[in-house]
Amino acid sequence: MYTKGYRIENRYVLTSSLGRGSFGEVWSAYDEINKKEIAIKICKAALIADDEEEREKAIRRFRDEISLMKRARSSYMVEILDYGKEKESVPPHAWYYYIIMEKMEGTLADSLQKFRNEGKEGIRLEDFFRYAECCLLGLADLHKKGIIHRDIKPSNLFFSKQNAIKIGDLGIARLSERTRQTQTMFGTVGYAAPELFVHKEQANEKSDLFSLGIAFYEMLTLRHPCSDKGAFYLSKETIRRMVSADFYPIQEIRKNLPEHLIQLIQAMIAARPDERPSSAEQVLQQIQKIRQQIATFHFQNAQEAMRKNQQNQAVESLLQSAAIISENPEVYNQIALIYYNQRLYEKAIEYFSKTLYLKKDKAPYTNRGLCYYYLQKYDEAIADFSKAIQIDPRFADAYNNRGLAYHKKKDYYRALQNFHRTLTIKTNDARAYNNRGMTYSEQEEYDKAIMDFTRSIKIQPHDPESYFNRGLAYRHKKLFDQAIADFSKAIQYDSKDVYSYYQRALLYQKIGDYPKALADFKEAQRLRPDNTKLQKGIQICEEKIRSR
């Protein structure tokens, strides 16, 4: 037996035993050259069998496993990094073979047992679909390469660091064109298809699908279909059920599973091979179809909730849709827009970012930029507006928004450049005229500002903001009558515009019309009772009226 600290090829240092594999020991080890953890499978004939003939068989199988792992290389298989043959460094200096593999994060079997211990009903549906697709992609790839795994089971399905499942342990796999079955090499009892150990038929793609179907059943219920209490155990009853495919109905163990999914798993574990799906690719297509149907159902529920203005319910349904299919950018975009409209800008940024991770598009860049803008993170806002412009150099809204961000940073030169560009692309953009007018006002170019506010009003004659801003410009030019007229227009189109009431009150106060000033201060205070400036204005006006 090997021990902790044993070195292989003077670079792989054994750190802890992971157990025994099909034909050897499996260890966690450290690669001193690449500076990373790896797994190593060691085959020493003397450890496998006492009989010389059996030892030779073990060595041949181990060599076959190396050959098949090289042939089976894909992103769905546990990766083989190195392999070789070496003499032991201690007596009796026997030869042994080894395979260096990527270090995985545990097996599906480990996770299922953990869930059983926690009293759960099964793997979450969204996780099941993701794991099932990993398994089916891997199995389909093996079958395309002419490889029959013959031992698909939860303990041979490994989790990667990215929480994807990879297929491992090709210890008894065979190339389908030269498979020669023996009575003892059909796989694992409880997972091997009935025809392999009852009728001694040759393993093929459908027997692998049967084994995977059993694993799928366990993933959803945490129970083996022959077991009345959890994992598979040997008894006359479980063997009878396995041989006859007399399985406990999955829908009685876990309620509310999609009917099409139940039917698919039942077909995968059918007793007769001709009743099973024809290939892993066919099962994958059906899994993806079921997954899409569930995601669409939740998405449609969200649209109905939004029509009823039930925003929280809409978010919940959208999140359910995203959990089933995480690759749909529109789902995240809609969640982000709901949070944006609720002024929950940090949450909106989170989901606009998820949208952009899946699809780079000018609209979510612009909307995320607006979130940053309202959070006063102007540099981040400018960066997002710039990305939107890179995607569409004629996207007027992005120039306008970027101009606003520069305005807030008091970089008026760049602000004006962006507003000019907006108006070059979109000559009747009232917002751009209004925003450019505000920038001119900050530079005390009030005539230019008034001209731009007037253009904005001409395009949108009911816009209170442009009237308010023009009123401020007139006030700076001491044209009080025009300023009062504009603040009055702003109030006409927005009766809750506290700022227009306040500015008009100040002007009435300035020209000595204290009753009107008092009325405006009081209305502003009614709208904003927490504003101390308004109370002070009221006191001054009341004193002036009393002194007359």
CA distances (Å), origin 507, targets 501, 510, 518, 531: 10, 5, 11, 18
SS (H, E, C) 439-473: HHHHCCCHHHHHHHHHHHHHHCCCCHHHHHHHHHH
Report whether 282 contacts 136 (CB < 8 A). Answer: no
User: Helices marked H in 76-204 — which ranges?
Assistant: 108-117, 125-144, 194-197
Assign 233 a pLDDT band (cuts: 50, 70, 90). confident
For the cut 50, the answer to whether the pLDDT of residue 17 exceeds it is yes
* 358-386 burial code (b ≥16 CB/10 A, e <16): beebbbbbbbbbbbbbeeebbebbbbbbe
What pLDDT shows up at residue 176?
Answer: 47
Is the same domain home to 175 and 67?
Answer: no
Q: How far apart are CA 209 and CA 192, in angstroms?
A: 10
Is the same domain home to 183 and 37?
Answer: no
Is the same domain home to 138 and 272?
Answer: yes
pLDDT, tens digit (0-9, with 9 covering 90-100), for 476-512: 999 999 999 999 999 999 999 999 999 999 999 999 9
CA distances (Å), origin 244, targets 235, 252, 308, 424: 14, 19, 52, 77
pLDDT, tens digit (0-9, with 9 covering 90-100), for 314-347: 999 999 999 999 999 999 999 999 999 999 999 9
- Percent of the chain surpassing pLDDT 90: 70
Is the same domain home to 123 and 260?
Answer: yes
For the cut 50, the answer to whether the pLDDT of residue 182 exceeds it is no
Is the same domain home to 255 and 132?
Answer: yes
User: Tokens in use for 334?
Assistant: 């809609």
Residues whose CB is less than 8 angstroms from the CB of residue 25 and which lie 6 or more positions away in sequence, other chains included: 1, 2, 17, 19, 41, 42, 44, 47
What pLDDT shows up at residue 50?
Answer: 55
What pLDDT shows up at residue 410?
Answer: 97
What pLDDT shows up at residue 177?
Answer: 43
Is the same domain home to 98 and 114?
Answer: no
Mean pLDDT of the chain: 90
Encoded amino acid at 97, one letter: Y
What pLDDT shows up at residue 10?
Answer: 87
| Stronger pLDDT, 105 or 187, i.e. the higher one | 105
The reply to whether 60 falls in a domain is yes
Q: Which among 250, 271, 289 is the end of a domain?
A: 289
Is the same domain home to 133 and 54?
Answer: no
Q: How far apart are CA 518 and CA 114, in angstroms?
A: 73
Q: How far apart are CA 314 and CA 335, in angstroms?
A: 8
What pLDDT shows up at residue 254?
Answer: 93
What pLDDT shows up at residue 79?
Answer: 87
Assign 531 a pLDDT band (cuts: 50, 70, 90). confident
Read off the pLDDT of each residue in 74-99 and give the average, rounded to a whole number.
79
CA 548 to chain CA centroid, Å, is 71
Q: Which among 248, 263, 289 is the end of a domain?
A: 289
- Least confident span in 92-101, 229-238, 425-434: 92-101
Q: Which domain holds residue 68?
A: 7-102
What pLDDT shows up at residue 59?
Answer: 66
Angle between helices 362-374 and 345-358 (to 10 degrees): 160
| Stronger pLDDT, 177 or 391, i.e. the higher one | 391
Is the same domain home to 73 and 130?
Answer: no
Is the same domain home to 258 and 139?
Answer: yes
**DSSP class of 311:** H
Q: Could you tell me the CATH number of the domain that includes residue 14?
A: 3.30.200.20
pLDDT, tens digit (0-9, with 9 covering 90-100), for 245-263: 889 999 999 998 999 999 9
Is the same domain home to 122 and 43?
Answer: no
User: Tokens in use for 240?
Assistant: 């009878």
The reply to whether 198 falls in a domain is yes
pLDDT, tens digit (0-9, with 9 covering 90-100), for 354-363: 999 999 999 9
Number of C-beta neighbours around residue 495 at 10 A: 12
Q: How far apart are CA 435 and CA 422, in angstroms?
A: 11
Q: How far apart are CA 331 and CA 314, in angstroms?
A: 11
The total of structural domains in the chain comes to 2
pLDDT, tens digit (0-9, with 9 covering 90-100), for 362-380: 999 999 999 999 999 999 9
- Please choose, from the candidates 85, 114, 84, 100, the residue with its C-alpha nearest in 3D space to the C-alpha of residue 28: 100
What is the C-alpha radius of gyration for the chain, rounded to an integer number of angstroms?
A: 36
What pLDDT shows up at residue 150?
Answer: 87
Q: How far apart are CA 76 and CA 130, in angstroms?
A: 13
- Please choose, from the candidates 436, 430, 428, 365, the residue with its C-alpha nearest in 3D space to the C-alpha of residue 406: 436
Is the same domain home to 16 and 72?
Answer: yes
Is the same domain home to 242 and 260?
Answer: yes
Read off the pLDDT of each residue in 164-185 and give the average, rounded to a whole number.
57
Q: What is the rounded end-to-end Cα distance, in angstroms, of the chain?
A: 109
For the cut 60, the answer to whether the pLDDT of residue 515 exceeds it is yes
The reply to whether 207 falls in a domain is yes
pLDDT, tens digit (0-9, with 9 covering 90-100), for 39-70: 998 876 555 555 566 656 666 766 776 777 77
Report whether 24 contacts 43 (CB < 8 A). Answer: yes
What pLDDT shows up at residue 418?
Answer: 98
